[in-house]
């Protein structure tokens, strides 16, 4: 599965949450319920501040 994960900060409560960049459903903040991302048919539209891109793990790291 190709895609990146992003750490997004909620604009209301500043909670940071990791979200898949191609989210296929609405993603709400786990703390206050504010919408953090909405699907667009491709890359999700983020409604919070993108703090960082989270590196994906290689399959070789999982074979330990």
What pLDDT does residue 3 have?
Answer: 81
CA-to-CA distance for 46 and 6, rounded, in angstroms? 10
How confident is the model over 7-55, as pLDDT tens digits? 999 999 999 999 999 999 999 999 999 999 999 988 999 999 999 998 7
pLDDT band at 59 (very low <50, low <70, confident <90, very high): low
Would you tell me how many other CB atoms lie within 10 Å of the CB of residue 48? 23
On whether 32 is known to bind a ligand per the annotation, the reply is: yes
Domain 3-53 falls in which CATH fold?
Answer: N-terminal domain of TfIIb (2.20.25)
On whether 10 is known to bind a ligand per the annotation, the reply is: yes
- Which residue in this structure is represented by tokens 């890359």? 43
CA distances from 1 to 10, 20, 24, 29 (A): 26, 11, 13, 24
Beta bridge partner(s), residue 38: 45
pLDDT band at 2 (very low <50, low <70, confident <90, very high): confident
**Domain residue extents for the chain:** 3-53
On whether 9 is known to bind a ligand per the annotation, the reply is: no
On whether 12 is known to bind a ligand per the annotation, the reply is: no
The model carries a pTM of 0.78
């Amino acid at each position: 599965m190709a895609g990146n994960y992003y750490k997004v900060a909620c604009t209301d409560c500043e909670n940071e949450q990791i979200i898949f960049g191609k989210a296929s459903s609405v993603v709400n903040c786990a703390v206050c319920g504010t919408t953090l991302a909405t699907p667009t048919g491709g890359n999700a539209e983020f409604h919070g501040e993108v703090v960082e891109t989270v590196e994906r793990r290689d399959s070789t790291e999982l074979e330990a």
